[in-house]
């Protein structure tokens, strides 16, 4: 159950990043919906991480949460053509994800 919550919280990371992106690209009233989505998903994501951390060790929980967030955010950016998936970019993105995971696992 904790793991399911943790994975969902990680996915919400990507949701708020995407909503933030929309909120800053839109103007006027079209900013309202993405801004609300951002606030709700960022709160739910942080709360989910806190709940998962009660049973999963902190370092492991954070690593999984961030890893899922980075992968899904990049996938969203590539799928919506915001970002071009060049080999170098994919390599560097996975490098950051791997280092953050490693950092939290040894910590």
Binding site for other proteins (CB under 8 A): 17-18, 20-21, 23-25, 42, 62, 66, 69-70, 73-78, 82-84, 86, 88-89, 92-93, 95-100, 102-104, 106-107
With respect to other proteins, which residue has the nearer C-beta, 32 or 99? 99
CB of 5 to other proteins, least distance (A): 18
Helix and strand numbers (H, E) in the chain are 4, 0
CB of 81 to other proteins, least distance (A): 10
For CA atoms 10, 11, 13, 14, the dihedral sign is: positive
Backbone angles phi, psi at 55, to 5 degrees: -120, -30
Give kind and range of the element (H or E) at residue 103: helix 87-106
107 within 8 A of 59, measured Cβ to Cβ: yes
CB of 7 to other proteins, least distance (A): 17
CB of 43 to other proteins, least distance (A): 11
Q: How open is the CA angle 5-37-76, to the nearest 5 degrees?
A: 75
With respect to other proteins, which residue has the nearer C-beta, 1 or 107? 107
């Amino acid at each position: 159950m904790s793991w399911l919550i943790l994975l969902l919280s990680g996915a919400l990371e990507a949701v708020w990043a995407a909503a933030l992106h929309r909120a800053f690209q839109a103007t006027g009233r079209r900013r309202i919906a993405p801004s609300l989505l951002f606030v709700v998903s960022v709160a739910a994501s942080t709360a989910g991480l806190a709940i998962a951390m009660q049973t999963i060790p902190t370092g492991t929980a954070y690593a999984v949460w961030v890893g899922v967030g980075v992968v899904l955010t990049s996938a969203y950016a590539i799928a919506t053509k915001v970002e071009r998936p060049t080999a170098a970019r994919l390599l560097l993105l996975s490098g950051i994800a791997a280092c953050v995971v490693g950092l939290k696992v040894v910590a």
